[in-house]
Amino acid sequence: ISEQPNAIGEDADIVANTVSSEQIASEVARRRTFGIISHPDAGKTTLTEKLLLFSGAIQLAGTVKGRKSGRHATSDWMDIEKQRGISVASSVMQFEYRDHVVNLLDTPGHQDFSEDTYRVLTAVDSALMVIDAAKGVETQTIKLLNVCRMRNTPIITLMNKMDRETRDPLELLDELESVLKIQCAPVTWPIGMGKTFRGVYHLLRDEILLFAAGNDKADQDFEVIKGIDNPRLDEMFPREIEQLRMEVELVHGASHPFDQEAFLAGVQTPVFFGSAINNFGIREILNALIDWAQPPGARDATVRTVQPKEAAFTGFVFKIQANMDPAHRDRIAFLRVCSGHFQRGMKIKHLRLNREIKVSSVVTFMASSREQVEEAYAGDIIGLPNHGNMQIGDSFSEGELLQFTGIPYFAPDFFRSVRIRNPLKIKQLHKGLQQLGEEGAIQVFKPVTSSDLVLGGVGVLQFEVVASRLLNEYGVDAVFEGTSISSARWITCDDKKILADFEKSSAGHNVAYDAAGNMAYLATSGVNLRLTQERWPQVVFHETREHA
Ligand code: G4P
């Protein structure tokens, strides 16, 4: 990528964008962009791997997760992550299935990285919720679902691990409805569980899919028996079949029939039962995604709504990640294309900096390697090599001034002050924290009354990651210490004079600026925050902020 502030028209090899509007429309229509939400250990990694098997993107199971095989997944980019066996960073995988282009955005499941996950979810059009059927709804499931709800993202549900002893399926649906407040429409229904798991009955197709364990092969075929009244079933499962017929009658009577409109509105979730590790029930989910989930839709860009089929390219950065691959020491800005056609070599405008850039090197992420992107359409994610001037929330276009909305930063709940062992490294510390702040790995505040920086995170694990990255990437040995800060709020006020008075008052001692230059108030306690808010009624204290 080369930054060329005044380069319009100077470059002979600028690529002309010559794709017809019909082609753009048909490319958009065949795209599906989704993320998986789940509590850690529910089976997200296993499912990701199986989904990729269907596409032929990877041949062997065990490629995504490097824990056992010793092979490193694209998302396993840091030692700390490998040690803990959690996915710290998200990555993106693209594959083709049934003549559709599927973009799967990986979302970190660990709660300490939920902020990153929230932002990844702003870039998807639908989500797949994986639930461990032995455990039911867990804390992280609830949080992530609430994030999806902010944008009414349609959700498909997989009740996973049916090859184990699980909870009663009806009870699971009940819990989903009451805890997550989402209507359930069972699409498949399990026959038995654990050692007696026989398969699933497809309620819409009146078919039974027979379970067989241990399928590592791509696109495994399972035997299908047509019709729940088929006498073959009585022969095969004399004990279970009556129970199934009874349950299915009950389910038909007591649950909601699948309604695509309600699904697309985020009000209803189709529910599938299966076993990711056995590759069972996974094809049904992929088919649901293709058949029912919507292609990329319109996006709010402040000045107007952008339609995905528009000819001109637009997009926004929802995530920045450093050193994804130790072989390439760089930072990648993940951009979701919102409209038009992206072609390698074209010029796009970085709107916040009002700068033209010629994009000659762009990457996408296949399961096992990065590849050069030649072109992309709405719904696709492209990785722009970033030399430090792109921030989360930045919008890009072919020139039109717009700003995509809804990419949030959340007020942190945990705070640390930073000290370094070697004072000569202060410059590197500031550079490192500035970059990590822009990347969204941590929030960095510079208090007006002190030279010590304050770090804020939504989880404490973030501090460990930052400490380790400061050491490895910037050569800074930093010590993090507790602070008296209990919460942070971004500050705005329509009246500039009041804002200046606020800064000069005693409350001004608690004012700090974040990495993007926004004013914030660092409160020492809940009481302190409340009193300050009461004293300054015209000043607005925000719990979230969008782009700079
Ligand atoms: P996560 O990414 O959501 O954290 O979950 P992951 O896929 O790593 O799965 C968590 C554990 O659950 C793994 O076992 C995995 O093998 C197992 N698992 C996933 N799907 C199924 C399933 O359908 N049935 C059964 N029985 N187990 C399933 P682990 O022993 O914790 O990890 P590993 O040592 O196998 O890597």
What would the pLDDT profile of 525-536 be if each residue is shown by its tens digit? Answer: 999 999 999 999
Probe target for ligand 1 pocket from 110, 159, 277, with the most ligand atoms within 8 Å of CB:
277
- Cα–Cα distance for residue pair 213/197, rounded to 1 Å: 10
Is residue 193 predicted with pLDDT exceeding 70? Answer: yes
Position with higher pLDDT, 331 vs 465: 465
pLDDT band for position 89 (50/70/90)?
very low
pLDDT number for residue 209: 93
Query: Which residue, chain included where needed, has tokens 């996973």?
Result: 160
Residues with Cβ within 8 Å of residue 151, at least 6 apart in sequence = 121, 122, 266, 406
Asked whether 127 and 121 are in contact (CB, 8 A), the reply is: yes
Residue located nearest, by CA, to atom 32 of ligand 1: 41
The pLDDT value given to residue 548: 47
Convert the pLDDT of each residue in 216-235 to its tens digit.
655 567 889 999 999 999 99
486-490 mean pLDDT: 94
CA of 330 to the centre of ligand 1 (A): 32
Instruction: Confirm or deny that 107 is annotated as ligand binding.
Output: yes
For position 109, what pLDDT does the model report?
58
Distance, C-alpha 4 to centroid of its chain: 31
User: In the prediction, which pLDDT does 45 show?
Assistant: 86
User: For residue 140, which amino acid is it?
Assistant: Q
Residue 5: pLDDT over 70: no
Q: Which two tokens stand for residue 294?
A: 């919507």
Count CB-CB contacts under 10 A for residue 79.
10
CA 24 to chain centre: 25
- State the distance from the centre of ligand 1 to the C-alpha of 42, rounded, in angstroms: 7
Task: Tell me, letter by letter, the H, E, C secondary structure of 228-276.
Answer: CCCHHHHHHCCCCHHHHHHHHHHHHHHCCCCCHHHHHCCCEEEEEECEH
CA of 314 to the centre of ligand 1 (A): 38
**Is the confidence at residue 445, as pLDDT, over 70?**
yes
Compute, in angstroms, the gap from residue 31 CA to the centroid of ligand 1: 29
Ligand 1 atom 17: residue of nearest CA: 43
Question: 354: alpha, beta or left, given left = phi > 0 and alpha = psi -120 to 50?
Answer: left
Q: What φ, ψ does residue 95 adopt, rounded to 5°?
A: -150, 165
pLDDT in tens, 128-184: 999 999 999 998 888 888 888 888 999 999 999 999 999 999 999 999 999 999 999
Closest atom of ligand 1 to CA, residue 160: 23
Residue 160 assigned ligand-binding role: yes
Atom of ligand 1 nearest to the CA of 67: 36
Mutate to test the pocket of ligand 1, among 37, 46, 48, 165 (most ligand atoms within 8 A of CB): 46
Instruction: Enter the tokens of residue 327.
Output: 């072989």
Q: β-strands 268-273, 155-160: how paired?
A: parallel
Q: Which DSSP category does 294 fall into?
A: P
- Rounded CA-CA distance 366/371 in Å is 7
Determine if residue 72 is labeled as part of a ligand binding site.
no
Give the Cα-Cα-Cα angle 137, 147, 376 (nearest 5 degrees).
115
**Total residue length of the chain:** 548
Rg (CA), the chain: 25
ipTM higher than 0.90?
A: yes
Q: How far apart are the first and last CA of the chain?
A: 23
Residue 107 structure tokens: 């979302």
Give the distance (Å) from ligand 1 centre to CA of residue 259.
31
Burial of 371 (0-12, 13-18, 19+ CB in 10 A): exposed
511-514 vs 443-447, strand pairing mode: antiparallel
Residue nearest to atom 6 of ligand 1 (CA): 43
- Calculate mean pLDDT across residues 192-209: 94
Local confidence band at 60 (pLDDT 50, 70, 90 cut-offs): very low
pLDDT of residue 474: 87
517 annotated ligand-binding residue = no
Cα–Cα distance for residue pair 124/127, rounded to 1 Å: 7
Instruction: Give the position, in ligand 1's atom list, of the atom nearest the Cα of 38.
Output: 3
Ligand 1, atom 29: closest residue by C-alpha:
41
DSSP state of 325: B
Name residues contacting ligand 1 (CB within 6 A). 38, 40-46, 65, 67-68, 109, 160-161, 163-164, 275-278
Distance 312 CA to ligand 1 centre (A): 43
**How does residue 468 score in pLDDT terms, banded at 50, 70 and 90?**
confident
- Looking up tokens 């998986």, which residue turns up? 36
328 assigned binding-site residue? no
How remote is the CA of residue 111 from the centroid of ligand 1, in Å?
A: 18
β partners of residue 185: 270
Distance 115 CA to ligand 1 centre (A): 24
Kind of pairing between the strands at 155-160 and 126-132: parallel
Q: Report the candidate in 339, 318, 337, 447 with the shortest Cα–Cα distance to residue 390.
A: 318
- pLDDT of 529: 96
% of residues, the chain, pLDDT over 90: 55
Report the distance separating Cα 361 and Cα 372, nearest Å: 7
Distance 535 CA to ligand 1 centre (A): 53
Residue whose Cα lies nearest atom 24 of ligand 1: it is 161
Count other Cβ atoms within 10 Å, centred on residue 172: 24
CA distance 39 to 287: 23
Is 41 annotated to bind ligand?
A: yes
User: For 471-475, what is the mean pLDDT?
Assistant: 87
* Closest ligand 1 atom number to CA of residue 40: 4
Amino acid at the residue 298: A
Q: Which residue's CA is the nearest one to ligand 1's atom 9? A: 43
- Most confident residue range from 26-35, 248-257, 538-547: 26-35
Q: Are residues 344 and 372 in contact, defined by beta-carbon separation less than 8 angstroms? A: yes
> 74 CA distance to ligand 1 centroid (A)?
18
Task: Write the residue with the smallest CA distance to atom 14 of ligand 1.
Answer: 41
- The mean pLDDT value of the chain amounts to 84
* Selected residue with higher pLDDT from 329 and 226: 226
